[in-house]
Structure 1
Amino acid sequence: MINVLIVEDDPMVAQINKKYTESLEGFVVCGICNDGREAIDIVINSHVDLIILDLYMPKLDGISFLKEIRKNQFMTDVIMVTAADEGDKLNESLKLGVIDYLIKPFEYERFKDALNKFKLRYEIFNTKVVLNQKDIDKITNQNYINFGEDLQKGINEITLKRIKKILKNYGKEYFTCEEISEKIKLSRVTVRRYLEYMTELGKLNRDVEYGEVGRPKTTYRVI
């Protein structure tokens, strides 16, 4: 069995992650922690194969937790689960050995995909002493997110897909940044960055509405 440690300060989210994890064959949750300090003690004193880690936590956040366990030579695999979509946080997490990055609210199928890809990686490394090219291709092609050049522009592929999914509901109707921000539960600044990015690519049309009172309102429409 693959031992999974869930590090999440929201009790309801932690239980959802536990339910999702244990619904998959071959996985068992060996512990749930609500802060990074407690999680470090479990990693030191228990056998943990995979950590499902929240980024923002009390006492010790996810990035600091990763730095701490890597400094102490614990190379446990980590899947980051967070509501944050900042490119700099993602980049730093990947450099610290995070193998996947799930942005809340994620769908069960995406969570399942992340764990099954880890399982494939885990089984290859634990059953074979010598790897052939086919084994290596399975690991490198399936277990890491390919963000391409978008990451350099502060664009996260998963968040972009979430926004595109919401925009489908509008058809040819105009919408505002504020409306999308409310639906996707991200800041208006973040959503505006994605809408402007899509506008630059020619995917959206941007317009400005001038009311009788107040500031002009920027609206968007799918082309």
Structure 2
Amino acid sequence: MILEDDVRASYMLESTIQQDGDFSVVAVSESVADALHQYSIYQPMLIFVDITLPDGHGIDFIHRMRKQGAKCDFIVTTAERETTTIARAVQLGVSDYLVKPIRISRIHQSLSDYKIYRKQLSNDTLDQIKIDTLLRKTPPKEVRRTPKGIDATTLSNLKQLLSDEDLQEFSAEDIGERMNVSRITARRYLEFLESEGVVNLVLNYNTGGRPRRLYRRVS
């Protein structure tokens, strides 16, 4: 379930979550009151919670749900970076804390981490190594520069293209045509560059329909 009063942020979250075949968004709420009602109907396992809401505070909502014994987990989505807010969220046992503007790759990472967490809890017992991993005590693995599905040469050519043509805002289709690759392939490379902080995803709502996914170079 998503609790978010910003329509654009809510749409971005929902569309990104729906890309993961292991998750399905059962409800979207714009207020605490509606979220409480929707929860009673759908009983979601995971709730994405914004902090600043029209009728309350996201952290207070999580605290209330915990006191009521809600059997679900929470991921906070907010622009707030104050340590007091973060500390309260951690004390309430949130699964993750995503700072806006949220990268799509970071949402995918959060969902992936959550799946690992749920899988580990399905076991009757855990050894120390798995407990450390569950509590995020294990140092993160070194990230490969070019993960599976990302060819170093193609990636280098794309970076060169963005530099040579001074492209500022573009779609996967634009890049696919210039590099003679499919739109899906171009999007995969652009999403990798987005995870690296080279480009940002922007949604163009001036389409008369579903927003168009565009990318913009980071200055």
State the TM-score bracket (shorter-chain normalisation): 0.5 to 0.7
> Number of paired residues?
139
Map of 1:88 onto structure 2: 84
Map of 1:71 onto structure 2: 67
1:133-212 matches, cutoff 5 A? 133-141=128-136
Cα contact 1:83–1:105 (8 A) shared by 2:
yes
Map of 2:116 onto structure 1: 120
Map of 1:130 onto structure 2: 125
Report Cα offsets for 1:121-166 as digits up to 9, x if no partner. Answer: 012213x1222223322211279x9xxxxxxxxxxxxxxxxxxxxx
Gaps of 5+ in 2: 141-219
How many angstroms apart in 2 are the aligned matches of 1:22 and 1:133? Answer: 34
Map of 2:6 onto structure 1: 10
The residue type paired with residue 101 of structure 1 is Y
What is the DSSP-based 3-state SS (H/G/I as helix, E as strand, rest coil) of the residue aligned with 2:25?
strand
TM-score by length of 1: 0.58
Cα contact 1:21–1:28 (8 A) shared by 2:
yes
How many angstroms apart in 1 are the aligned matches of 2:39 and 2:133? Answer: 28
The residue type paired with residue 130 of structure 2 is D
Q: State yes or no: 1:35 paired with 2:31.
A: yes
More helix by share: 1
What is the DSSP-based 3-state SS (H/G/I as helix, E as strand, rest coil) of the residue aligned with 1:88?
helix
How many angstroms apart in 1 are the aligned matches of 2:30 and 2:7? Answer: 8
Q: State yes or no: 1:109 paired with 2:105.
A: yes
1:75, distance to aligned residue in structure 2 (A): 4.0
What is the DSSP-based 3-state SS (H/G/I as helix, E as strand, rest coil) of the residue aligned with 2:80?
coil
Cα contact 1:7–1:51 (8 A) shared by 2:
yes
Gaps of 5+ in 1: 146-223
How many angstroms apart in 1 are the aligned matches of 2:39 and 2:134? Answer: 24
TM-score by length of 2: 0.59
What is the DSSP-based 3-state SS (H/G/I as helix, E as strand, rest coil) of the residue aligned with 2:27?
strand
Map of 1:212 onto structure 2: none
How many angstroms apart in 1 are the aligned matches of 2:128 and 2:40? Answer: 34
* Alignment RMSD (CA, Å): 1.9
What is the DSSP-based 3-state SS (H/G/I as helix, E as strand, rest coil) of the residue aligned with 1:27?
coil
Map of 1:59 onto structure 2: 55
38-47 or 55-64, which deviates more = 38-47
How many angstroms apart in 2 are the aligned matches of 1:101 and 1:19? Answer: 19
